Chain A
Amino acid sequence: MGTLSLGPDPRPMISLLKFAARILVILTLGGFLGATLVRLAPGYGVDQEELDFRLSSSSIQFLRQADSPNVSLFTFYARYMLGLLHGNLGYSRNLQEPVRQLLAERLPETLKSVTLALVLGWMAGLSLAMAAALARNGLLSAAASLLASIMLCIPAAVLALLFVDAQLPGRLVLALIVFPKIFQYARSLLNRSVALPHVLLAHARGAGGLRILLCHALPVAGPQLLALAGVSVSMAFAAAIPVEALCDLPGIGQLAWQAALGRDLVVLVNLTMIVTLVTVLANSAAELASRASRGGET
């Protein structure tokens, strides 16, 4: 009996549309949340010049009015969104440059650093986790665990300072921050996969360690590793602030730091939205890939 064709299955398309709608909502709310926090923070509109003891109270009042134009949060955000629709991201008060230009100059730098960090961090973390899962003696596992634990206990900013002193490339710091989390999570997943009954049976039947890992353990751990890939992007972006600020890398992490010190609301809102967009996209892509690898809906 022939099957009745109903045309292409609409479910993957609906799922993708739901993802797109979720990203849009999170992005809009993210920008609004960033703007709200910045606008309502007690120091909004306070300038360093106010600390000059020679200024009278009326001068300070004048400075405050000049720094924080009398617009409500909603007006500010509505104007911003309207400008955004026309491709206008605003003007940086602090750096005296259009935000679009600043982002065009600095975003590629951060993307380069983050990509390198993710590639190196994943290569080191996953290969050491695989080696630790395969190794019969605990020495390699213990050495890798010790290295990862030490890395987890050092603040990113201190690692950046160490690299500056040692005159090593600052970009590598990001890889060192990503590596321990990948290693620990991947090792725990692989150890769990290796202990599954069907993997133990394959082992008992004489399958080699590498074959067990590649054909049995990794496919089981795959979906969760993909989810970790999404999280690691967010991790690398967060670490970019101290690393770029201290290693003098001209990326958006350094820009965020400069904008925060200079109270540059427009730059901060744009950066919040861009970083949110990148992390949401990475997490959504990881989730879709994870579902696809499980054989579920896409």
Chain B
Amino acid sequence: MKLFRAAAIAFLLVVCLAGLLANVVAPASCARQFREQPDAPPSHAHWLGTDDLGRDRFSRLLYGTRVSLFLAPAAAALAGVLAALIGGVAGLAGGWIESCLMAATDLFLSMPWLFLLVTVRALLPLDVSPWASVTITFALLGCLGWAAAARVVCADVRTLWSSDALLLGHASGSSGLHLLRWHIVPRLKPVLWAQFWISIPVFILSEANLSILGLGVAEPLPSWGSLLSELESFPVFTTQPWQLAPLFLLVATVSCFHLALQNQESWA
């Protein structure tokens, strides 16, 4: 099992590195069109062929990896910060503040958030720039994905706050801020860290779903989701398997995340 985990982590590192160095590794820019070669099969010049607009598929895959693999963690970090703030305040304050914040959390947990996400994403202006669309998509994912983690954080903070160690700290005159800084936050780190890592594959899949529905990242900027939306225009069981490269990369990456995160899932 350790070997599989190591292989998964190595694969994720390679994919991250490829995304990070997209402008060095990619043979062309993601928007450059080779107009004389639309829908070309794989060749030396275009390893995965070109799309119907003549853009190099391999380059778009690398740039798409950068977008999906670096903005999903950003969204997960945003969700983690919101969960820590809301759950932390609820757990520390207790009483009616906790009741109100946990009611809000319940509300978010009660709504199938894809409904909310589709609704809000579709109501954004039609003429936003591609970078704005990608930022908005992942920011929305972050803003809507905090609820489950906030519940865990709230329960943990409440337990810690009433633990013997903190009662002793109180009795020996430590301030609340001191206890928070040195005793609560360090003990919450593993939970928040686990939530952060678990959210990444969830957000990658959500972005893919949104983009396939035409509500995610806008053209010409590629992401794994927007590359997968091409599947609508040709049969998936195609005679041109290289067109399925984004799907294989997405499935492999998300699988590797699950494999690498098996220990984290027990924390969350």
Contacts and interface: CB of A to CB of B under 8 A. Distances in A.
14 contacts: A26-B106, A26-B110, A30-B111, A38-B119, A42-B124, A51-B127, A153-B205, A157-B212, A242-B114, A260-B119, A260-B121, A263-B123, A272-B115, A280-B110
B115 A241 contact: yes
Interface in B80-124: 103, 106-107, 110-116, 118-124
A4 interface: no
A107 B107 CA distance: 22
Nearest to B108: A33
A34 B212 contact: no
Interface in A72-86: none
Interface of B: 103, 106-107, 110-116, 118-127, 201, 205, 208-209, 212-215, 225, 228, 231-232, 235-237, 247, 250-251, 254-255, 258
Q: Is the interface of A mostly helix, strand, loop or mixed?
A: helix
Interface stretch (A6-14, A160-168, A208-216): A160-168
A46 B214 CA distance: 17
Contacts of B113: 238
Interface string A153-177: 1111110011001100000000000
Contacts of B121: 260
A246 B229 CA distance: 11
B107 A149 contact: no
B118 A51 contact: no
B7 to A, nearest CB: 15
Interface of A: 25-26, 29-30, 33-34, 37-38, 41-44, 46, 48, 50-51, 149-150, 152-158, 161-162, 165-166, 234-235, 237-239, 241-242, 245-246, 256-257, 260-261, 263, 268, 271-272, 275-276, 279-280, 283
A164 to B, nearest CB: 8
Contacts of B122: 43, 260-261, 263
Nearest to B104: A29
Q: Is the interface of B mostly helix, strand, loop or mixed?
A: helix
Nearest to A25: B103
A42 B110 CA distance: 25
B240 to A, nearest CB: 14
A77 to B, nearest CB: 15
A43 B123 contact: yes
Contact of B212 (A29, A30, A234, A242): A242
B125 A34 contact: no
A46 B125 CA distance: 7
B237 A165 contact: yes
B96 to A, nearest CB: 14
A256 B119 contact: yes
B119 A150 contact: no
Contacts of A280: 110
B208 A158 contact: yes
Nearest to A283: B110
Nearest to A44: B123
Which 8 interchain pairs have the tightest Cβ spacing? Answer: A260-B122, A238-B112, A41-B123, A157-B212, A153-B254, A155-B208, A238-B114, A43-B124
A248 to B, nearest CB: 12
A280 B112 CA distance: 10
A165 B122 CA distance: 27
